[in-house]
Amino acid sequence: MVTYAGKLVLAPMVRAGELPTRLLALKYGADLVWSPEIIDKKLIQCQRVDNKKLRTVDFVAPGSSENKPASVVFRTFPEIEAGKMIFQLGSSNPQLAVQAAQVVIKDVDGIDLNAGCPKHFSIHSGMGAALLKNPDVLCSILTSLVEQVGKPHRKPISVKIRLLEDEALTVDLVKRLCGTGISNLTVHCRTTPMRNRQAPIRDYIPAIFNVCQEHQVSLIINGAIQNRSHFLQVREQMGLSDKVGGMMADCAEANPTSFSSSPLPWHGAVRAYLSIADRFDHSVNNSKYMLTRIVPGKSKFYQYFTRCKSMNEINHVVSLMSEDGQPLGDPTEYLVDCRERERIAKKQAADKKSQECQAKATITQNSDSDRKRPVDADLDADHKKIKSA
């Protein structure tokens, strides 16, 4: 069973925490990685697919129409992630949480319940940080996950929370959470209204850690941890046990190699990220998102990447990047040509589809006419017979 104590881990991050980011973080020293939060109802409808080409395990949601085809909701690469992959679940219902967790539990190393995200997509259905206002529901979900998923599969169940209004309320909540049988508690050291630009509140951590120790629950702290050396410094300055772990979010999003004592510069991280994204046929949209997080906003490459619409275009832009991150040329003409080729291709495709539709309509019309002729002829013959009689 995976252990969390003392580990430095990658935070669950929507969009940023997809497979290439996780693999890059692991390559450069992350001890564990969290998946992005995935909502229970979305996960329940997924089918498990053993992707032979990529050697991944994919969880695929069915498409609803031609414009909305089947999509990969979660992808894991067991050769590297096995023993280090924690799946974060979004839920506000014990039954749905258990049903969803059962879908992935054999392919991950733990289930983490999101009870800390303050974003609308989490809290609008009573999930994420909204669960902090409903501790009975929160504890019910955790108890159900522990008893019906964790214990049968010998996998740990954990939860990620934020601080409440004061230390006493927070500690009381932690006592209840630890009593559910969870294996790990992650505390984002900010309250729900606080944003990441605000300094974290770490004063409550010693009291929280004492409660966790009493229940044999490990503790991970999250909030403004910059890299491994900074995490060790924070832990030492606070006099915390080396059993306390750390979770990196924003800084790991900006550079997934920052788990290393010698992280790559941003342009090195870009190349390392893209080598993994190409290897796993990663989507261009998510790749662009991550590149705009890694590349400094003042760099010309930031604008270049935002204009790309395919992985080929992204790789062409990277080919014009020097070893120190300076442009060796301007890809604008190439990108414009790609836009024109794309426009022509779309027009040709639209014209072809229009011609096919017209041809189909003509065939249908002729077929209808052919069907009518014998009937009309029979009616005329019958009419003549009637007249002659």
Could you tell me the CATH number of the domain that includes residue 135?
3.20.20.70
- 350 in any annotated domain: no
Model confidence at 375: pLDDT above 80: no
Q: Tell me the C-alpha distance between 180 and 279, whole Å.
A: 41
Cβ partners under 8 Å of residue 9, min gap 6: 30, 31, 32, 33, 34, 86, 220, 245, 246, 247, 248
Active site residue 117: yes
pLDDT digits (tens, 9 = 90+) for 50-81: 999 999 999 999 987 777 889 999 999 999 99
Determine, yes or no, domain membership for 108.
yes
Is 301 a domain residue? Answer: no
168-183 burial, b if ≥16 CB within 10 A, otherwise e? eebeebbeebbebbbb
Confidence at 123, pLDDT banded by 50, 70, 90: confident
Name the residue among 290, 223, 246 with its Cα closest to residue 24. 290
Q: How many domains does the chain have?
A: 1
The mean per-residue pLDDT over the stretch 344-369 comes to 71
| SS3 call for 215 | coil
* 277 in a structural domain: no
Residue written as token pair 């910059």: 226
Mean pLDDT of 378-389: 53
* pLDDT reported for residue 82: 98
Catalytic residue, from 117, 139, 212, 308: name it. Answer: 117
* Residues composing the chain: 389
- At residue 359, the pLDDT reads 74
Structural domain includes residue 315: no
In a domain, 378, yes or no: no
Does residue 180 sit within a domain? yes
Reported as type and span, the H/E element at residue 341 is helix 332-388
* 79 falls within a domain: yes
Q: What is the pLDDT of residue 65?
A: 74
Q: How confident is the model at residue 380 (pLDDT cuts 50, 70, 90)?
A: low
Residue pLDDT, tens place only, 177-225: 999 999 999 999 999 999 999 999 999 999 999 999 999 999 999 999 9
Other C-beta atoms closer than 10 Å to the C-beta of 83 total 10
| pLDDT for position 60 | 98
Instruction: Report yes or no: 47 and 59 within 8 Å, Cβ to Cβ.
Output: yes
Task: For residue 229, give its domain range.
Answer: 8-263
